[in-house]
Amino acid sequence: MFLNTFITTCLATLQVLLMGGVGFFVIKKGILDDKSLDRLNELLIKVLLPALIFHQITTRFDAKAFPNWWIFPLICFGVVIAGFLIGWLVLLLNRGCEKRDHFLAVAAFPNGGYIPLMMIAALFEGQAQQTLMIYLFLFLMGFDASTWSLGAWLVAGEKDGRHPVKRILTPPFITTLSSVVFVLLGLNAFVPEILMKPVKMFGDCVLPIALIVVGGTLARIETHKVRNTDIFWVVIAKVVVLPACALGVLYFVEIDFLLGYFILLEFCVPTATSLSVLGRMFDVESDFINQGILVTHLVSIFTIPLFLAVYSFVKG
């Protein structure tokens, strides 16, 4: 059973890797340039992802079936705080690290949207997939709030002059919050099919375009001027120690299988590519962040299937 689960998860990870490879290829070959990729990412964040979120929540979210829906943003905060603490502890072993704030950012912030989205789509079908999608979109409310506040502070420091509220109010965050309120008020029942159908069609575009953006972002990362020791320790913290601790806790906790699976997946994913975007936005030297993003993604190709297979074996 363990071997079958491991192979299935590896194949799903490989699907994600191959699709992301398209984005890597189109950037390396000059089919898309940096500005084009930025515009594609903007389209994804401002139009396509909100369309997917709105459709999934207004058609699938049932407040009675998800009475504790508010815990998912808190789970995200828990993932970020745990990563921050693990990173801080690992820094005690790596006292020579000069980019300590960037080390903590790489250790703390997960690629909690795109990678789980692809993994869920590849590994699950039917009701299980729909449930995990709802978990994910609710989780991302906490992700946006934490990334554009604490994340921006760790990456940019004093160069970040924007008000915290302006950082948090991103289109996915606003759409998720408004969609939940929409459902709680029962207004989703009045949305006409003529509107919902094109919204769904836009949302269906998210998966391939998101992977093109992720692959393209990794392709334009420049890796130099970074101590290999620092990268080694941050990778150990992010994709080995952090998911291992989460797996250990979940083993001893009585929890719904899908919920536990989702939580572990969020602990397993590599570093958020949005940190690289923050570095470019605030014009800070972010070589360490970029290399940390790249290496954690490469290593997680092997660690994600391993941890998820162990969880499925012991809790399935």
Residue 167 has what pLDDT? 60
Q: For residue range 74-105, what is the model confidence (pLDDT) as tens digits? A: 999 999 999 999 999 999 988 888 889 999 99
First-to-last alpha carbon distance for the chain, in angstroms, is: 10
d(CA 189, CA 186): 6
pLDDT single digits (tens) 151-180: 878 887 655 555 556 666 778 888 888 888
pLDDT at 223: 60
Is pLDDT above 70 for 128?
A: yes
- Pick the residue with more confidence: 314 or 239? 239
Q: What is the average per-residue pLDDT within 235-249?
A: 96
| Nearest alpha carbon to residue 211 among 7, 37, 90, 35 | 37
The CATH classification of domain 2-315, taken from the options 1.20.1530, 1.10.150, 3.90.640, 3.20.170: 1.20.1530
Predicted confidence (pLDDT) per residue in 39-57, tens digit: 888 888 889 888 988 998 8
Cα 212 to chain center, whole Å? Answer: 15
Q: CA-to-CA distance for 289 and 256, rounded, in angstroms?
A: 35
CB-based contact 206:44 (threshold 8 Å): yes
Contacts of 219 (CB under 8 A, 6+ apart): 23, 24, 25, 27, 28
pLDDT, tens digit (0-9, with 9 covering 90-100), for 263-285: 999 999 999 887 877 776 677 77
pLDDT single digits (tens) 177-223: 888 888 889 888 888 889 899 999 998 888 788 778 878 877 877 66
pTM over 0.85: no
Q: Write down the domain spans for the chain.
A: 2-315
Residue 241's pLDDT band (cuts 50, 70, 90): very high
